[in-house]
A and B are shown apart, each in its own frame.
Chain A
Amino acid sequence: MKKGVYDELDDEDPYDLNVRKIEKEIVDYLIKSPLYSTRNEITSRILIYIILRKEISQNLLKNLTGYSSGKISQELNNLVDSGMIIRKKIPSIRKKVYTFESVEQISNTRVKNIITVMLKWEGELEKMKNEMENKRSKLETMNGYNNIMNVINFYIPAIKLYEKFADSLEIK
């Protein structure tokens, strides 16, 4: 049977074993590198396979990573919801595949999501700061008052800098 463009979406991996071995070595190396060692391993492994395959089905991801269907499904849903990857339906074979726009877009989306969370917290941090200032006479003698205040005073302007950075990337 002639191989088609979506053959690799089948459960059976069409890749030659030697090619697949090199691919796995790349994934394992990246996961262990300091660039990824502080990130969630399961998410990173799935994301790297999506990048290296360009398009991949959930079943093939399961075969390649050894993670359970439930775990992979959960991670894929999170990645789709966060905007880092795209779920694409292939009507002709009634399958869903996962793909991405570009490595740069994944990185930009990650930055954008972090800034969104920071903006969500900005009000909470300002509220905490006001409360600490209002109750200063009672709280400032307590151990840690200055530590907490320093972090808050540090982050409130930092959030504004992150906003400025997001504007410069035009990713807001």
Chain B
Amino acid sequence: MSATFHEAGYAHLVELVHQKDGGARRQLASVRLTAYDTAGVCHVTTELDPRQEILDLDALLGQACRAHGRLLAVFDARYDPTVFPYRPHHYAYLQRRDSAAPPLYYAVNATLGGVPDRIGAVALNNFESYLFLDRPLTERYALALGNLSRFATAEAQVISYYDGARLTEEVRLPPKAHTEIPLAPEHDGQRLRRVELKSLFRLTSYVVGRRAREDALVLFDHLFTYFK
């Protein structure tokens, strides 16, 4: 599965098929879109035409977003069974309407859906990080997190690093629930330098940066696991 977040007021076009997926190699058999509010309640379920290349997410979710706030949009793509398992890797174009902020183009999170990276793992073993510029800008940062699992509540730690200090926030997300954890740009006069996310299994996770003036997204990017 893959997942992203959608908010009202944004043009949001999602490329359903990865451009390097030659039709002869990987046939997209079906795509189901479901969308959940922050509590994990499903508000939209729809089967998409797998021949469709670009999906206008706002056309499908805009109304539900206005009623229920930010939604977690989940793409459950099924491919030719002979190439299973395959996690779709696709991109999307995102821009706040009537904003001076530039559009963003980002890789939609591929997420395991609640399966630990190592079966039997009992410790927080999924680890991602992201670095920030050391500048006194007015941009507001956050980490958007969603739990795609069907049954398991996710426990995670969000650790923010400042020069000489680290702040840890515990996060608990029921299935399909999501949240946005604000990251303070400063702590005791020190700038935010880095954030880390630790969890038992892979969550939907994006680093979020918003222009203070218009609240428009200028960062919406995946975190990084280290090179193996």
> Are these two chains actual partners, yes or no?
no
- Chain B interface residues toward A at CB < 8 A: none
